[in-house]
A and B are shown apart, each in its own frame.
Chain A
C-alpha cells in the first residue's frame, strides 16, 4: 500500500470520479432527506425552505411515536422476527445437511440454494400469487384432499351432503407477507450458517457422542453453542433485510398489512408528508446500522474462538 501523497495525480485520476458520483448522487440525496426530516411541508407535499432555521423541528420524529405509526413499526418488527425464526428453523437443517454432505455434493447443493436468489426479486415475489390465490395451487390441493375425504366418508355411509369446499384466503394478508419474507431471505441465512458449520471441527460432536450424549443433547449443547456466531450473523442479516422490505408487503400484502417500507413510500407520495417519510427512513437506517454494528462486533469477538 502506498501513501497517496507520493502519487497525487494517479490517486486523483483513479479515486475522484467515483468519489464525485457517490457524493453527488448518493450522499447528497441522503443529506437532503435528512434535512427534510427536520422540516415541515405544505399541503402539496413540498418542503418549506423559507425561513430555513426557524422551521427546523422534531415534529416528524414525534409523529413516528404516535400509536398508529408505532403499531406499523411493531408489525414490521414482529413480522421480520417471525420470518427470521422460520428461516432459522428451515435453514439450519439445510445448512447442516450441506456442511456434512460428501464433498462432491457440496457445491451443487450450494448452487441450488443461491440460484433462486439470482432471479429477479419482483418475479420471485409475484410467483407466490399463483400459489396462494383463491384458485391457486395450495387451494387446489386442499380441495382435492377435501373431495377425497368426503367421497370416502359418504362411501362408508357417514353422511352424503357435505358443504362444497371453501377455498382458504391465503393471499393479501400478513401470513402471505411472512411466507414471502421467508422465501426471499432464506439464502441469506443459509449461506452464513453453512460457512460456520463448514469450518466446524466434527471431532467435538464425536467426543460428545462417545461420552454418551444423545444426538439431541449433542445438537443443543455442542453444535448450536459453537455455531452461534454463524446463527447470529445470518439471523441479524435476515432480520435487517426483512424489516426494510418494500416489495413483499406491496405485492403479497393486503390493505392492513402495512409495513415500514410501505409507510415510508406513502408519506413521500400519497400522504404528501416528506418530512415524516424522511424521518421514518432515517429511523429505519439507524436501526439497520445499529444491527450491522452489533453483528460486526459479535463476529470480531467470536474470532478468538478456534474451532
Chain B
C-alpha cells in the first residue's frame, strides 16, 4: 500500500485516472453517504472521546481545555472509596468468572453432545438471563435474597453475576464445539484410550479457545455490570461501577472521568483479546 502511494503521489494525473467518478452502485464513494457515516461516528464517539480527553484536562470544570495533566488519575488512585470498590469489583469478577467458566463450559458441552427430553425449552431457559430486561432480573434477585433473609453483599452480588454470566460461556463454548470432528474421539477410543483420557487429551484441548473467550466475556460482564449489582449490593459492598454512579450523581468531575477511563481501557482490552481468540479459532460468532 505504502509503495503504491509513493508511486502514485507525484503524478496527480495518474491518480485522477485511477479514481473515476463513482459508479451508481459505489455508495461508499457518494459524498452525502460519507457525510452521514461521518455524522454517525461523531455521534457514537464524541461523548466517550470527550469524556476520556477531559480526564486529562487541567481544570475542575469540564468545559474548556486548560492543558494536559495526570493529577485526576492520581486523585482517583488515592481515593480510598474508589480503590476499595475497584478491588472488590476485581474480586467479584474473578470469583464469578471461575465459577461461570466451569459451569458454562460443562453445560455448553452437555448441550452440544447430548439429546435429552425437553432440550428445546431447556435451551430457551439458558437464553433467558441473556434476553430478559436487566431491571426485572435485578428486582427478582433482590426480592429472592430479601425473602430468605440473606444479607446483601459480596456473596449475593457474585451469585447474581454467575447467574447471568455462565449462560454466555455456555453459548460461546457450544458454538466452538459446533466445529468439532467427533471422529477424533472415536479414533482415540479405538486406539485404546479410556473415556476419561479421551476427554482430557482430545475434547478438552479443542474446547480451550471457546473456554478462554467465554471466561474473558464473563469477566467483563461482571466487571461492567451496574444495574443488577446496584440492587444486590448492601451498604458496605460498593463495586466500581456503583461507586462511579454515586459520584456521577453528585457531579461529573474529571476524577470520575479518570476512574471511568480506567474501567473502559480494562474492559475494552479484555474484550478485544476475547474477540481475537474467538476469531482466531475460526468461530466468528458475535456472542456478545
Residues of A near any B CB (own CB < 8 A): 1-4, 7, 10-11, 13-15, 17-19, 21-22, 25-30, 32-33, 36, 47, 90-91, 93-94, 96-97, 100-102, 105, 109, 112-116, 118-124, 126-131, 133, 135, 137, 140, 183, 186, 191, 202, 205-206, 209, 215, 244-247, 251, 261, 264-265, 268, 274, 277-278, 281, 284-285, 288, 292
Within the complex, the shortest CB–CB distance from A43 to chain B, in Å, comes to 16
Q: When each residue 123-136 of chain B gets 1 if its CB lies under 8 Å from chain A and 0 otherwise, what string results? A: 00110110111111
List A contacts of B281 (CB < 8 A). none
Interface contact A129-B160, CB-CB below 8 Å: no
Interface contact B131-A7, CB-CB below 8 Å: no
Within the complex, the shortest CB–CB distance from B22 to chain A, in Å, comes to 10
Within the complex, the shortest CB–CB distance from A239 to chain B, in Å, comes to 12
Within the complex, the shortest CB–CB distance from B236 to chain A, in Å, comes to 19
List A contacts of B50 (CB < 8 A). 127, 130-131, 137
Within the complex, the shortest CB–CB distance from B144 to chain A, in Å, comes to 4
Q: Can you list 30 A-B pairs with a CB-CB distance of less than 8 A?
A: A3-B114, A3-B115, A11-B114, A15-B110, A15-B114, A18-B103, A19-B122, A21-B103, A21-B162, A22-B163, A25-B141, A26-B137, A32-B147, A47-B147, A90-B39, A90-B43, A94-B37, A97-B27, A97-B36, A100-B26, A120-B260, A120-B267, A122-B226, A123-B48, A126-B244, A191-B286, A205-B24, A205-B25, A244-B133, A281-B136
Query: Within the assembled complex, what's the spacing in Å between the Cα atoms of A277 and B110?
Result: 36
Within the complex, the shortest CB–CB distance from B157 to chain A, in Å, comes to 12
Smallest Cβ-Cβ distance to A114: which chain B residue: B286
Interface contact A246-B134, CB-CB below 8 Å: yes
Interface contact B115-A120, CB-CB below 8 Å: no
List B contacts of A264 (CB < 8 A). 135-136, 139
Q: Which of B47, B116, B143, B248 makes the CB contact (< 8 A) with A251?
A: B248
Interface contact A112-B41, CB-CB below 8 Å: yes
For window 36-74 of B, CB contacts with A under 8 Å fall at 36-37, 39-41, 43-48, 50-51, 54, 61-63
Interface contact B143-A29, CB-CB below 8 Å: yes
Tell whether A33 pairs with B103 under 8 Å between CB atoms, given A120-B224, A120-B267, A247-B227.
Answer: no
Smallest Cβ-Cβ distance to A47: which chain B residue: B147
List B contacts of A206 (CB < 8 A). 24-25
List A contacts of B111 (CB < 8 A). 15
Tell whether A18 pairs with B104 under 8 Å between CB atoms, given A94-B36, A183-B44, A215-B24.
Answer: yes
Tell whether A116 pairs with B45 under 8 Å between CB atoms, given A121-B226, A268-B143.
Answer: yes
Smallest Cβ-Cβ distance to A117: which chain B residue: B288
> B87 contacts the other chain (Cβ, under 8 Å)?
no
Q: When each residue 257-288 of chain B gets 1 if its CB lies under 8 Å from chain A and 0 otherwise, what string results? A: 00010011001100110000000000000101
List A contacts of B24 (CB < 8 A). 205-206, 209, 215
Q: Which of B106, B139, B195 makes the CB contact (< 8 A) with A268?
A: B139
Tell whether A15 pairs with B106 under 8 Å between CB atoms, given A22-B163, A97-B28, A116-B45.
Answer: yes
List A contacts of B116 (CB < 8 A). 3-4, 11, 15
Tell me the total A-B contact number using a CB cutoff of 8 A.
Answer: 234
Smallest Cβ-Cβ distance to A251: which chain B residue: B248
Within the complex, the shortest CB–CB distance from B43 to chain A, in Å, comes to 7
Interface contact B226-A126, CB-CB below 8 Å: no
Query: Within the assembled complex, what's the spacing in Å between the Cα atoms of A94 and B39?
Result: 10
Query: Within the assembled complex, what's the spacing in Å between the Cα atoms of A119 and B166?
Result: 20
List A contacts of B136 (CB < 8 A). 244, 264, 281, 284-285
List B contacts of A131 (CB < 8 A). 46-47, 50
Query: Within the assembled complex, what's the spacing in Å between the Cα atoms of A94 and B231?
Result: 37
Tell whether A285 pairs with B113 under 8 Å between CB atoms, given A100-B26, A247-B226.
Answer: no
Interface contact B241-A36, CB-CB below 8 Å: no
Interface contact A130-B47, CB-CB below 8 Å: yes
List B contacts of A3 (CB < 8 A). 114-116
Query: Within the assembled complex, what's the spacing in Å between the Cα atoms of A135 and B60?
Result: 13
Query: Within the assembled complex, what's the spacing in Å between the Cα atoms of A244 and B220?
Result: 22
Interface contact B114-A7, CB-CB below 8 Å: yes
Q: Which of A2, A19, A36, A268 makes the CB contact (< 8 A) with B115?
A: A2
Smallest Cβ-Cβ distance to A205: which chain B residue: B25
Closest 10 pairs between A and B when the two form their complex, measured CB to CB: A244-B133, A18-B107, A127-B47, A29-B144, A15-B110, A14-B110, A246-B135, A29-B140, A101-B28, A4-B116
6 other contacts beyond A90-B36, A131-B47, A281-B133, with CB at 8 A cut-off? Answer: A2-B114, A21-B163, A26-B164, A32-B140, A112-B41, A140-B63
Q: Which of A135, A246, A247, A292 makes the CB contact (< 8 A) with B131?
A: A292
List B contacts of A32 (CB < 8 A). 140, 143-144, 147
